[in-house]
Amino acid sequence: MDIVTLSFVLIVLTVGIFDFTNGFHDAADMVATAIASHLMSPAISISIVCVFTFIAPFTVGLTVANTVGTLIDINEASQLLGESIVIGALLSAIFFNLITWWLGYPSSSSNSLAGGLVGAGLYAVGAGKINWGIHALENGHLEGLMKVVAGLLASPFLGFLIGFFVMRVFIKLFSHLTVKATKWLKYFQYVSIAWLGFSHGANDAQKGMAIIGMALLAFRHEQQFHVPMWAIFWCASAITLGTLFGGWRIIKTLGYKLFKVTPVHSVANQIGSALVNTLATSIGAPTSTTQVVTATLLGNGAARKPLHVKWQTALGILSGWWLNIPITIILGWLFCFSYNAIWS
């Protein structure tokens, strides 16, 4: 195996690691409320999420992958610069994912990857090759980094509002029901958690596909950005495997440390989160399932008993979000610089 082929294989394997850590993070977010509310066992909830996470990438388009994969223009970059951008972005995202998992805080794999791409792109090809999307925004269109920012920053606010609204509706619907009647929530949750798992696979798995598409372009295997079927299968499998081994540290933070989660909270959280993810995927905007689920859960809690929400813990999570992109931009720059220093 020659060095070029080996480098490409290593990138594909690294994408698999990134998607695994992505699924590892997001599994905890998706099943935390179901487990904390005692509506589902961990095995059943994770199994449902895994099945629908795997199915989704094969049944939706590649709009999110196209958004992320065309963020940096590498058509005229040398092979070394192209692959260094991909490697720098991946390593920064994986590193940040592992650190935040160890601390038990839900972070955004999507934010980490976007930050890593920008940082690596700034070092390797300069600001002029980054599709900032500012000109398109002036003309009323979302594309490039502006679409990424819109998806990643607007979705938590939308999640909070939808979570608040859905919870208020649920309070009205279920306030006069008997305990026996509310047991139907358990059966309804099979639908809501399946939808959340599907929306997760439909959006999050496409980011790894975007990196493989960029790698194919960097190694001149493709003349333009393209995601082959084998890449879809590889990313879907990796993110599903990560979901299967979801992180319990984050489950404890979301399920038990923000407020006492009830069955109504759980179903409302999953419906609200799935709705936000689905809306974003339909326009090709990447979201962070981690951020969406957490923000929606805060909206659920605020709608019922605002004073019962542990806002200090919530602020700790939010501070990690604001630091996410700046830190990964720096990491992306450093990893890209290091890769070029080693191979040039």
pLDDT tens, residue by residue, 157-184: 888 899 999 988 888 877 665 555 566 7
The pLDDT value recorded for residue 211 is 92
Minimum mean pLDDT among 1-5, 28-32, 57-61: which range? 1-5
Domain assignment present for residue 332? The answer is no
- Say if residue 131's pLDDT is above 90: no
Q: Mean pLDDT across the stretch 318-337?
A: 85
The pLDDT value recorded for residue 135 is 83
The pLDDT value recorded for residue 104 is 67
Domain assignment present for residue 58? The answer is yes
The pLDDT value recorded for residue 178 is 55
Domain assignment present for residue 339? The answer is no
Minimum mean pLDDT among 22-26, 162-166, 306-310: which range? 306-310
Place of tokens 């047991």: 183
Q: Mean pLDDT across the stretch 95-108?
A: 76
Q: Is 228 left (phi over 0), alpha (psi -120 to 50) or beta?
A: beta
Domain assignment present for residue 241? The answer is yes
Judge whether 105 and 317 are in contact, CB under 8 Å: yes
Count how many domains the chain has.
Answer: 1
Judge whether 157 and 116 are in contact, CB under 8 Å: no
pLDDT tens, residue by residue, 209-258: 999 999 998 887 777 888 999 999 999 999 999 888 765 555 555 545 55
- More confidently predicted of 35 and 235: 235
Domain assignment present for residue 258? The answer is yes
- Say if residue 69's pLDDT is above 90: no
What angle do the packed helices 42-59 and 184-218 form, to 10 degrees?
A: 50
Q: Specify the pTM.
A: 0.84
Domain assignment present for residue 80? The answer is yes
Domain assignment present for residue 95? The answer is yes
Task: For residue 1, give both structure tokens.
Answer: 């195996």
The pLDDT value recorded for residue 336 is 94
- More confidently predicted of 272 and 100: 272
Q: What is the mean pLDDT of the chain?
A: 83
Q: Mean pLDDT across the stretch 117-122?
A: 94
Place of tokens 């994912």: 97
Domain assignment present for residue 100? The answer is yes
Minimum mean pLDDT among 73-87, 242-256, 261-275, 324-338: which range? 242-256
Ranges 94-103, 105-114, 253-262, most confident: 94-103
What is the Cα–Cα distance from 125 to 72, expressed in whole angstroms? 9
The pLDDT value recorded for residue 320 is 63
Q: Mean pLDDT across the stretch 99-113?
A: 75
The pLDDT value recorded for residue 179 is 57
Domain ranges, residue 269: 3-325
The pLDDT value recorded for residue 252 is 54
Q: Mean pLDDT across the stretch 301-316?
A: 73
